[in-house]
Structure 1
């Protein structure tokens, strides 16, 4: 305990993992939300852009709440799963800081490095910055890659401020190697091809910035996600190779060190997840990790009738419960 029984029930086509995943990523639209961009300069000379949505209702008394939202691989703060969550939390009294990982905000970041699944330094810097802005409650929300980064940050226990209250992570590849093994299956060719197209495009742009570190010969060798991680992610971020990256950046080994209430919502039919991406034993032995595994939902495709998705409503519920 706590393995959390799920109340989510998919219907019709949304029981199909691919339909729910693709519809939610490509067709869903979130209207009526305003974002204001702030550029944060980082200690290493780079920057990240944060898209803010302020609370729609005044925050009361000494409680000043902010939710930090982190997107998935090659996403940004304008993805429907970020906008839907931002709108719901804003409507319920939260300021929302939606982080764009380095190079994901529409402009190229300055350094050779960019971001990766286990990159917690920028999360730590943003959280510490928010502490200086007098937020009494800082809640974290990560989707896919962003969820893995949140869990690893919490499990590193590296001076996590007391203002960090709780976290919710959706569709989390807690074991990166297991997730890759799932993605290379034939049924997932659409997803891995889409990721690879975006990653190769970024490699080309980086190559123009850093011709001494990147070249056309290596670019031509990038024919898989693992190959991209061997040729760019690993050398750019201090790993020996892709397998070293997957081992050291996965959040799975950090889960038992997390000390703030954390919800992990992973659908059983998520095409991106496999094996230890479902940390059942860790949750059973924890009073902190709340693992919820609906039968359906695909990869962050928890569609419900109405304006908001189940993962967004469930996140708000979890945040409110742990504010009491």
Structure 2
């Protein structure tokens, strides 16, 4: 068992030094295309729902399948979707074109710059893309007290199965960024094969050792004061809403004092999703121990200067199966990978992903 290692660089510009700078600039400043989608709402077996934002050649978010113009539907204002999908739209998407299922990271959505860049470039290359929203991340609260978490491989399996049913003739691929990447890799390790005929997959900026990454984000100054504070801003609001709708589900008095992701996972994520505490969640939900069991061609891309993911926690060639390609460039930050002249762009990441899916390298 020996995974392939690729250390070729991401050509980050000299005017963008360091992992923190590359991460923050990629998230807030780098140029990226603006893409609109057509949204599908999918009911889950437990009575909740997941929203998928679709794009692909011939699918017009501003025009219905019958050719009539479709204004931005009121319920979708503030999202990247312009209208709801119709039955006739599936005829446009059907066929043997390759398809990508795209999973976002913590508190992400189809509006996230990395999601926009990947979906735009894949659509331009002739692919169909389904940008998946985890529960509560599509701009609409989900129906249950629970939400989403990094180890929910069953949810990933359900979504892939749904997309396979929608696109039975497509060459199906999947990619997950950060949290979404860990859940995807966990499924692939548990499945020991290609679930639902998945041809290949990728994990991008993945925290495979959740305990090491949780400590980095909870115990360091940058982690607590910058990244945890940013994530907790939106998470705290969602928890308040959950507490109002589901009295007794969350200890709201402790919510105000949360200062780290460990405290959030101790308070909400772990008990809500069947774990004892944050450490139990981080340990049992991590994908790292399952990498040797993967039997699907997989690219795992992690910059070695990722401020979320300690370099020492990254897998080596003997920590993953033969079907895995570990690309670990020195620079790139977390889900950043900004390249080009100022003001920079996010095209390197989708190009790297396309190359792997098309050539295996």
Which of the five TM-score ranges fits, normalised by the shorter chain?
Answer: over 0.9
Instruction: Give the aligned partner of residue 82 of structure 1.
Output: 115
> Does 1:298 find its partner at 2:336?
no
Offset at 1:204? 0.8
Please say if residues 30 and 346 of structure 2, whose CA atoms lie closer than 8 Å, have aligned partners that are also in contact. Answer: no
Moved more, 62-71 or 304-313: 304-313
Deviating 4+ runs (over 4 angstroms): 56-62
Instruction: Give the aligned partner of residue 171 of structure 1.
Output: 205
Please say if residues 336 and 346 of structure 2, whose CA atoms lie closer than 8 Å, have aligned partners that are also in contact. Answer: no
> Does 1:120 find its partner at 2:153?
yes
Distance in 1 separating the partners of 2:95 and 2:51? 28
SS at structure 2 position matched to 1:18: helix
User: Alpha carbon RMSD of aligned pairs, Å?
Assistant: 2.4
Instruction: Give the aligned partner of residue 246 of structure 1.
Output: 282
Please say if residues 93 and 128 of structure 2, whose CA atoms lie closer than 8 Å, have aligned partners that are also in contact. Answer: no
Please say if residues 255 and 282 of structure 1, whose CA atoms lie closer than 8 Å, have aligned partners that are also in contact. Answer: no
Distance in 1 separating the partners of 2:36 and 2:207? 30
State which of 243, 260, 263 in structure 2 corresponds to 1:207.
243
Instruction: Give the aligned partner of residue 55 of structure 2.
Output: 53
TM-score by length of 2: 0.83
SS at structure 2 position matched to 1:101: coil
SS at structure 1 position matched to 2:243: helix
1:108-151, CA deviations, whole angstroms, 9 ceiling, x for partnerless residues?
10111100011122211111112222143211111111111110
**Number of residues of Structure 1 aligned to a counterpart in Structure 2:** 322
Please say if residues 172 and 277 of structure 1, whose CA atoms lie closer than 8 Å, have aligned partners that are also in contact. Answer: no
Offset at 1:59? 10
Moved more, 20-29 or 226-235: 20-29
Structure 2: gaps of 5 or more residues = 60-90
> Does 1:191 find its partner at 2:227?
yes
Please say if residues 66 and 135 of structure 1, whose CA atoms lie closer than 8 Å, have aligned partners that are also in contact. Answer: no
The alpha-carbon distance between structure 1 residues 209 and 276, as it changes in their structure 2 partners (threshold 3 A), is farther
1:77-135, CA deviations, whole angstroms, 9 ceiling, x for partnerless residues?
11010010001111112100000110001111011110001112221111111222214
> Does 1:155 find its partner at 2:164?
no
Please say if residues 161 and 196 of structure 2, whose CA atoms lie closer than 8 Å, have aligned partners that are also in contact. Answer: no
Structure 1: gaps of 5 or more residues = none
SS at structure 1 position matched to 2:256: helix
1:13-28 mapped onto 2 (5 Å cutoff) = 13-28=15-30
Distance in 1 separating the partners of 2:251 and 2:94? 56
